[in-house]
Amino acid sequence: MMTRVFLILAAAFVTLAAACTPVPQTGEGGGTVYRIRNADKVQIRMLDSVNALRQAASAPQVQLNAQLNAAAATHSRDMSVQNRPWHFGSDGSSPLDRVARTGYPGSMLGEAISETYENELQTLTAWMEDRGTRAVILDPKATNMGFSWYQEPNGKIWWTLVMGN
């Protein structure tokens, strides 16, 4: 099962390689910094990758949701302002609070966050290696997904994925 998941991710990685441009600087961890190109396609690529993983796990597909995207975008920028990856906003808001503020009519099921210099597929791969974030991504009750990021001028990217139903 996990081999199948990693093969799907590897195929998606080849597709995503053209989506990010490495720049000649290194991140805090010494890795390559990616500049996101074709930003208007990042959410669709992530949705396609998540749905491929969900299909491999026999979970139903999810759709992008504008309200969940808004909650994810707000949190990505806020994590940058706070300069720390955590689930609470600078105003003390929880993921549930942020989703409710957007008017999302369903239930928020979970949130995955990351602070990295890597592209979205590398981030998704890291999330899938963690039991907690993998459970959020593959939650069979999920019908909607929100996904967004904020990239700082230094190249650091703050990623947020929210699942709901």
Q: Note whether 145 and 62 are within 8 A (CB).
A: yes
> Which pLDDT value is given to residue 59?
98
Query: Please, which residues bridge with residue 26 across strands?
Result: 32
Residues in the chain: 165
Cβ-in-10-Å burial (0-12, 13-18, 19+) of 103 comes to: exposed
State how far the Cα of 150 lies from the Cα of 71, in Å rounded to an integer: 12
pTM for this predicted structure: 0.81
pLDDT in tens, 6-59: 444 444 443 333 344 444 344 455 556 778 777 788 999 999 999 999 999 999
> Which pLDDT value is given to residue 86?
67
> Which pLDDT value is given to residue 102?
96
* pLDDT(161) > 80: yes
* pLDDT(121) > 70: yes
Nearest Cα to Cα of residue 114 among 96, 98, 136:
136
* pLDDT(138) > 50: yes
Looking only at Cα atoms, what is the longest distance across the chain? 44
pLDDT in tens, 65-93: 999 999 999 999 998 987 767 687 768 88
> Which pLDDT value is given to residue 107?
97
What's the DSSP call for residue 95? H
Place of tokens 């720390």: 84
> Which pLDDT value is given to residue 23?
42
> Which pLDDT value is given to residue 126?
96
